[in-house]
Amino acid sequence: MTDPSAATTPVSDLHHVVVIGGGFGGLATVLGLTSATVRITLVDQRNHHLFQPLLYQVATASLATSDIAWPIRWLLRGRADVTTLLDAVVGVDVSARRVLLRGGQDIAFDTLVIATGARHAYFGHDEWEPFAPGLKTLEDATTIRRRILMAFEQAEREGDAQRRAALMTFVVIGGGPTGVELAGTIAELAHHTLKGEFRNIDPKSTRVVLIEAGPRILPGFLPDLSAYAQGALERLGVELKLGQPVTACTAEGATFAGELLPAGTIIWAAGVQASPAAEWLAAPADRAGRVQVEADLTVPGHPEIFVVGDTAAVKAPDGTPVPGIAPAAKQEGRHVAETIRARLAGNRAARPFRYRHAGSLATIGKREAIVDFGWLKLRGRLAWWLWGIAHVYFLIGARNRLQVSLNWLWIYLRDQRSARLITQGQATDRQGR
């Protein structure tokens, strides 16, 4: 409910909420403060909100970038209370309550919400990144898409048989949902979509190898669902190497189990590292760099600062960690907005965050998936349709929902992917070589 006194309060005197990050958590906070008696500044180093769960489909030429990303200014065009700044945060002066920007401007805040997400982590081997890019941004997705498509183009004109085989070998490191989805879609792209398009190579001979250090893929799912997913990947032609951590990524390929697997394309999906928010705040952090927040998502000793999403290490009431997934970030953002509203109304009582797990979903190619809602567990084609409906539902805007649905229907029926464009950088990209 809008406070009638807000109409006579100068804008500069309103409670100032600064939100860093326009992802799921940050945007949910802003939307949750609609009509609140505050002024909001949203800072992001990119101008778009990204639907990360479908980012792998951009990387594998199934969707275009505009299908899963929307300009932040457009999303908030009706919010006169929100100022959007395109800039990068370089620090936070906690004592002075100021956010420090790369552009040189400082922003004073009354309440700060940090939702800066995470990047891929190489477990102390950052030198692997040029050879094994991760997947967190649109730039990552278009880089990986270019490398996948260029590998086939280079193989088409490669005269050396060993080098051609390496170019047609794709290694995905990490057996979580992203790794499984990438491996399955690359296999379908090679074995079905590209059929008959080349004259000197047979895309069916492509090798897709998924390497997982643990004993099974999708460890967050029940063992029987994980086993089903493994079988589905193998039916698509994916080779699985389990219990064998990668020890090196180079221009020649990936090394594991003491041997080098020559590969032209390596994709990293094995781990994440939080943004440097903990360093900005001098706050306690876990091994992944996530801020260890209080039960109400505030920074210890600083009730005016909240941290949400992949930047925060949040625990459920039973002590288990809250997963770093989009629904959790959105719930956290809404909780922060409700807490800010309560404080403005004079209620400063602690409000512990309660995570509600809606379920886990993962897709394997274009026809199979696994779903675990706790009370309902599905696998196969029905699970894939449910996965698709859920993801389309959470897209923003009718045009995007229709476009993505039509793209998936076309891929489902004809094995054709319309987003197979080699863009961004030189066509002769050497993939870190």
Residue 371 and residue 249 in one domain: yes
**In-domain check, residue 428:** no
Asked if residue 219 belongs to a domain, the reply is yes
Instruction: With respect to residue 164, please indicate whether it lies within any of the assigned structural domains.
Output: yes
Please tell me the least confidently modeled range out of 122-126, 234-238, 351-355, 405-409. Answer: 405-409
pLDDT digits (tens, 9 = 90+) for 217-242: 999 999 999 999 999 999 999 999 99
The 3-state DSSP class for residue 425 equals coil
**Predicted local confidence at residue 1, as pLDDT:** 44
Interval 360-367 mean pLDDT: 92
Which of 23-37, 68-82, 417-431 has the least mean pLDDT?
417-431
Q: Please tell me whether residues 254 and 375 are part of one structural domain.
A: yes
Claim to verify: residue 137 and residue 216 sit in the same structural domain: yes
DSSP line for 306-366: EE-GGGEE-B-TTSPBPP-SHHHHHHHHHHHHHHHHHHHTT-------------EEEEETT
Q: Which residue in 165, 170, 120, 126 sits closest to 147, CA to CA?
A: 170
HSE-CB of 217 using CA atoms within 13 angstroms = 35
Same-domain pairing of 311 and 162:
no
In a domain, 339, yes or no: yes
Helix (H, G, I), strand (E, B) or coil at 226: helix
- The mean pLDDT value for 321-334 works out to 95
Q: pLDDT tens across 128-187, in order?
A: 999 999 999 999 999 999 999 999 999 999 999 999 999 999 999 999 999 999 999 999
Q: Which residue has the tokens 């943004």?
A: 275
Pair (140, 179) in one structural domain: yes
CATH number at 212 reads 3.50.50.100
Least confidently predicted of 224-228, 261-265, 346-350: 346-350
Residue 433, domain member (yes or no): no
- Note whether 167 and 263 are same-domain residues: yes
Question: Is residue 406, in this structure, part of any structural domain at all?
Answer: yes
Looking at the fold, whether 139 and 206 belong to one and the same domain comes out as yes
In a domain, 77, yes or no: no
Query: Does residue 248 surpass a pLDDT of 90?
Result: yes
pLDDT of 425 reads: 60
- Looking at residue 396, its pLDDT comes to 84
**pLDDT reading at 433 higher than 80:** no
Asked whether the predicted pLDDT for residue 87 surpasses 70, the reply is yes
The residue from 127, 129, 181, 234 that is catalytic is: 181
The pTM score is 0.92
The mean pLDDT of the chain is 92
For the segment 263-289, the average pLDDT, to the nearest whole number, is 95
Same domain, 303 and 339: yes
Residue 224: inside a domain: yes
CATH of the domain at 17: 3.50.50.60
Residue 292 lies in domain: 4-45+87-120+272-344
Count up the domains in the chain and report the number: 2
Residues 338 and 372 grouped into a single domain: no
Same domain, 334 and 372: no
Same structural domain, 302 and 185? no
Q: Do 278 and 263 share a domain, yes or no?
A: no
Please say if 181 is a catalytic residue. Answer: yes
What DSSP string describes 108-160?
A: E-SEEEE---EEE--TT-GGGTTTS---SSHHHHHHHHHHHHHHHHHHHT---
